[in-house]
A and B are shown apart, each in its own frame.
Chain A
Amino acid sequence: MSSLDPGISTSLDQLTQRGKPRRRLWRDLSEILVKTALVLCTSFTLIITALIIGILAFETGRFFAEVSISEFLFTTQWSPMLGETKSFGIWPLVAGTLLVTLVAAIFALPIGLVTAIFLSEYAPSRVRAVLKPVLEILAGIPTVVYGFFAVIIIAPSLQATSEFLTGDRLFGTYSAGAAGIAVGIMILPIVISLSEDALRAVPRGLRDGAYALGSTRFDTSVRVVVPGALGGIMASYLLAITRAIGETMIVALAAGGLAHLTILPWDQVQTMTAYMVQIFLGDAPATGVEYKSSFAVAGVLFLMTLCMTIAGYRILARFREEYE
Chain B
Amino acid sequence: MSAADHRLLQDVLGRGTARRQDRRRLFDRGFLLVCLCITTIAVLALAVLLVSVLVEGIPGLSWDFIDRYTSRDASKAGIKAPLWGSVWVAGICAVVALPIGVATAVYLEEFAPKNRVTGFVRLNITNLAGVPSIVYGILGLTLFVRMFGLFGPALDPSMEVGGRIYAIYYDVTGEAIRVPAAARGEAPTLADGTIGYVEEIEDGPDGELIFTDRWTPVTLSVVPEDADDPATVGAIDAYSAAEPADFEVVRPWYYLQFPFGQSVLAGGLTLMLVVLPIVIISSQEALRAIPNSLRAGSLAMGATRWQTTYRVTLPAAIPMIMTGAILAMSRAIGEAAPILVLGVALFITDVPSNLMDNFTVLPMQIYNWTNRWQEDFRELAASGIIVLLGALLAFNAIAVLIRQKLQRPLQ
Contact = CB atoms under 8 A, between A and B. Distances in A.
Interface of A: 12, 15-17, 27-28, 30-31, 34-35, 37-39, 41-42, 44-46, 48-49, 51-52, 55-56, 111, 114-115, 117-118, 122, 131, 134-135, 137-138, 140-149, 151-153, 185, 188, 192, 210, 213-219, 221-223, 239, 242-243, 245-249, 252-253, 273, 276-277, 280-282, 295, 298, 301-302, 305-306, 308-310, 312-313
B183 interface: no
Contacts of A48: 128, 139, 273, 276
B80 interface: no
8 contacts: A42-B108, A48-B139, A51-B143, A134-B42, A243-B130, A277-B134, A298-B135, A305-B131
A176 to B, nearest CB: 18
Given A35-B306, A38-B106, A45 B336 contact: no
A280 B137 contact: yes
A239 B327 CA distance: 18
A249 B108 CA distance: 34
A70 to B, nearest CB: 25
Contacts of A245: 132
A221 B31 CA distance: 10
B138 A298 contact: yes
B334 interface: yes
B337 A140 contact: no
Contact of B367 (A35, A210, A253): A253
B107 interface: yes
A281 B340 contact: yes
A252 B367 contact: yes
A306 B46 contact: no
B289 to A, nearest CB: 15
B280 interface: yes
Contact of B49 (A55, A145, A214): A145
Interface string B86-106: 000000000000011001101
A6 B10 CA distance: 73
B334 A38 contact: no
A45 B370 contact: no
A16 B302 CA distance: 5
B235 interface: no
Contact of B130 (A273, A282, A309): A309
Contact of A142 (B99, B112, B388): B388
B276 A219 contact: no
A167 B329 CA distance: 47
Q: Could you tell me the dominant secondary structure of chain B's interface residues?
A: helix
B46 A142 contact: no
Nearest to A314: B123
Interface of B: 11-14, 24-25, 27-28, 31-32, 34-36, 38-39, 41-43, 45-46, 48-49, 52-53, 56, 99-100, 103-104, 106-108, 111-112, 121, 123-139, 141-143, 273, 276-277, 280, 301-307, 327, 330, 333-337, 340-341, 343, 363, 366-367, 370-371, 378, 381-382, 385, 388-389, 392, 396
B134 A118 contact: no
Contacts of B126: 309, 313
B370 A55 contact: no
Nearest to A217: B28
Contacts of B330: 140
A144 B367 contact: yes
A122 B99 CA distance: 41
A34 B309 CA distance: 11
Contacts of B138: 52, 55-56, 276, 295, 298
A41 B103 contact: yes
B39 A248 contact: no
B93 to A, nearest CB: 15
Contacts of A216: 24-25, 27-28
Nearest to B110: A38
A51 B370 CA distance: 34
A248 B24 contact: no
A204 to B, nearest CB: 17
Given A111-B38, A152-B378, A213-B12, A306 B131 contact: yes
Contacts of A249: 336-337, 363, 367
Nearest to A224: B12
A30 B306 contact: yes
A199 to B, nearest CB: 13
Nearest to A151: B370
A114 B42 CA distance: 11
A246 B128 contact: no
B370 A115 contact: no
